Structure 1
Amino acid sequence: LIVQPTDKRTYNAIIDHLHEKNASFHSFTPPPSSHRIYRVVIKNLHNSTLHTDITSALSEQGHSVKSIYNAKNRNNCPLPVFFVDIRQQDNNNDIHEITSLLNTIMKIEKPFKKRRGPPQCHNCQEYGHTKNYCNHEARCVK
């Protein structure tokens, strides 16, 4: 079923109704800016650093962390690279000015996005949409 609302109010009403009914759905319309995340990459921070320590250090700087992921190589060994999702705020661009965290000199960058083919959802593993717009039940790839 494809629904194309004419305005934002109608779209929000449809999405709220689907959430209330616990329906499985996805959309191609971005969520409101208050729900978007801002992703950064922290490099040169030791891989044994606890996620709670990173969260508290960034919250002292005025950033609200949603999730942290430590990147791993092909052998499943952790790398000194962390992907950090920050809740949308006015000061998100200020995070790139931080040069040291937890007494370690590190670098904060925007993530490199390579695009090959259609987007694949990392939640339900279907093609054509991304996890930000997905409300389907999660599926494991393994």
Structure 2
Amino acid sequence: MQKSVRIQVKGIQIYPDGREDKQDFQVTGSFYKRQGNYYIFYQESEATGMAGVSTALRVEKNKLILTRMGAADQRQIFEPGVLHHSNYVTPFVSLYLGALAEEMEISLTELGGHITLKYKLFADEQEISQNTLKILIKGDTPQ
């Protein structure tokens, strides 16, 4: 059964020159479990620089599949030790990206939980950043 949840996303990108970009935002989204997999949905906002984009995460035992639809389209698979490629398409640019997940911790129940993902991002086979992504899912509490 789908339920409304608070989703906190914290991300850090470290570039080869040492610069860092950080994101920390909260959104309301939906969360459910079906056939052993967890699903998380939310709308991106201007705070993320991706207004007009819907994000969906399918969480399997040892795999995370991110799908973005709308103003940007992408389907990226994260699986420890495996380099997965994707096309990231916006009205302004199309990039061929690779993501190599180095560490993944998934701790979810029907009540919520967290995901921690560390991965390297590549464009044209060159590393462009090292990334850490932390997602916390909490059931909405009545007001």
Bigger relative contact order (CA 8 A; separation at least 6): 1
Higher alpha-carbon Rg = 1
More strand as a share of residues: 2
More helix as a share of residues: 1
Q: Is TM-score (shorter-chain normalized) higher than 0.5?
A: no
